[in-house]
Structure 1
Amino acid sequence: MLRDATTALVLVLALSGCAGIGQPKPYDSTGINGLVVPTPTPDPGDFVAVVDNPWLALEPGERRTYDVVDTGITVGSLVVDVLEDPVPVAGLEATAVQTTTDLGGATTSTVTDLYAQDDHGNVWLVGGDADGEGWRAGTDGAEAGLAMPADPRLGDGWKAYVVAGLPESIVRIEDQSAQMVQIRSEAGTATRTVYEKGAGLVSIEDLDAGWVATLEQPGS
């Protein structure tokens, strides 16, 4: 379940009219019109080398720690590391984010998700690895999905990925202000993630299990 929540840090590939992505087509939500979501065919020429979207910036070498609380009791931690070395996916260089969960020392798991940002600032989920298994956009029918639009808007909805054997992942922006975006995700379990502009992901709530993971503040 923590994997689903962190994947809802969530992403994958390009914009209307970009080569290799397909032609622009209507989309039901404002803010992401013209994007082909999901897409199996990322074009490396549509992407930049960094992920610096202000809602979901990923700086190689960065570490973020979240305290996991359930019914008022701290039950563990979630540590997110942005790895230094990029990972090749369909000809582009993806940024790898490794998430390690430790729930009271009883349950430890590590998940790696792969992100890439297009030249319009949209962040995409282009691959992932967990429990010795992984997927890559463009391989075995896997399709990349959107993690964070360049210009998120209330009511936007999309798929985070399409991968055989994984539950369908549906994402929707359910609340927003000038400095905050709140997203609800359904992928086997329901999660709510909150992003702050310039700070990135600040909290994750598992709506089924009831725990909340909150970003530790510097000096805490």
Structure 2
Amino acid sequence: MSVLGLRRVVPVAAVLALLTGCGAAGQANPEKIGPRGVDELVIPTPDPDPDDFVDRVDNPWLPLAPGTVWSYDVSGSVVRGLEVSVEDEPQVVARISCVVVHSVGTDARGDVVIEGEAYYAQDSRGNVWVFGEDTRSLAPATRGLSQSWSADVHGAEAGLAMPASPRVGDGYVRALLPSGAERSTVLSLDEERTVPAGTFGGLLLVIETPGDAPGGESVFRRAYAEGIGLVQEARSGGIGSLDLASVSAPPA
């Protein structure tokens, strides 16, 4: 879920957007991305087949093993800390059994100010898809605000959260929503970042933006480490960031 504005999430992308007032926008433009995109996948997918999906998410860039917990330090938002965890029980969305990722954001006093879930499933080729998100603000100033969508409601369609084998230049739709389509592009596979959890190299860098993000104000850059997942998320213009503080994996 993201906390840099009450927008949507990847486990970390809707929280920041919700609380800084950044809303998803853009014209819906579903398309079949050719080989220079992501291996001729139809993205977003209008009619996912349960037979195409597996019962786990073990993509090396977005591993979602039940019991894993990531903690993040947050700046540029009323949220100061974010804990993201993978729940044990799956949930069915659009006929697909999805892994549930739960996010809780707290303020400087430790009070919960935002909470949400995101729903992911991995296909048999190792690509991870996002099938829905539900984010709720509990902060006094924005109490009652929420942002949610489901791949089987009001024309929304699942999009690609993470390719099986990202390549520089890959571009894809992360989700098709009634309000528009969010798009992601792979920028690099050799980034380095230093965050409270340590220094990480060989990172995957992805840029995500709504179709008509004005002046780049809604653009997010996300850095992922193999075997760990999201290490850092930064909003363009230095408005805010989310940095990995710790990660704990379930016992083998």
CA 1:183–1:215 in 2, change beyond 3 Å: closer, same or farther?
Answer: same
Residues 61 and 229, structure 2, Cα contact 8 Å, conserved in 1:
yes
Deviation at 1:116, TM superposition (A): 0.3
Deviation at 1:133, TM superposition (A): 5.6
Amino acid at match of 2:80: G
Deviations 1:93-118 (A, max 9, x none): 10111122223247711121100000
- SS for the counterpart of 2:176 is coil
Q: Which runs of 5+ in 2 are unaligned?
A: 14-30, 137-145, 191-200
Deviation at 1:208, TM superposition (A): 4.7
Question: Which structure's residues are more often strand, by fraction?
Answer: 2
Establish whether residue 171 from structure 1 lines up as the match of residue 149 from structure 2.
no
Please list, as runs of the form range in 1=range in 2, the aligned pairs for 1:182-197 lying within 5 A after superposition: 182-187=205-210, 189-197=218-226
**Which residue is equivalent to 1:151?**
165
CA 1:109–1:217 in 2, change beyond 3 Å: closer, same or farther?
Answer: closer
Deviations 1:116-144 (A, max 9, x none): 00000000011111235632213321111
Please list, as runs of the form range in 1=range in 2, the aligned pairs for 1:19-168 lying within 5 A after superposition: 27-28=33-34, 30=36, 32-69=38-75, 76-105=80-109, 108-131=113-136, 134-165=148-179, 167-168=180-181
Residues 60 and 84, structure 1, Cα contact 8 Å, conserved in 2:
yes
Residues 224 and 232, structure 2, Cα contact 8 Å, conserved in 1:
yes
- SS for the counterpart of 1:216 is strand
Deviation at 1:75, TM superposition (A): 6.8
What is the CA RMSD across the aligned residues, in angstroms? Answer: 2.7
- How far apart are the structure 2 equivalents of 1:162 and 1:212? 25
- SS for the counterpart of 2:38 is coil
- How far apart are the structure 2 equivalents of 1:33 and 1:134? 29
Stretch of structure 1 that moved more, 42-51 or 193-202: 193-202
Amino acid at match of 1:212: S
Deviation at 1:150, TM superposition (A): 0.3
- How far apart are the structure 2 equivalents of 1:179 and 1:198? 12
- How far apart are the structure 2 equivalents of 1:138 and 1:29? 27
Residues 169 and 186, structure 1, Cα contact 8 Å, conserved in 2:
yes
Deviation at 1:33, TM superposition (A): 2.1
- How far apart are the structure 2 equivalents of 1:184 and 1:5? 15
Q: Which runs of 5+ in 1 are unaligned?
A: 11-24
Establish whether residue 210 from structure 1 lines up as the match of residue 249 from structure 2.
no
Deviation at 1:4, TM superposition (A): 4.4
Amino acid at match of 1:136: S
- SS for the counterpart of 1:144 is strand
Q: TM-score, normalised by structure 1?
A: 0.80
- SS for the counterpart of 2:181 is coil
- How far apart are the structure 1 equivalents of 2:124 and 2:169? 23
Deviations 1:184-219 (A, max 9, x none): 111362111100111211111122562221111469
- Equivalent pairs counted in the alignment come to 201
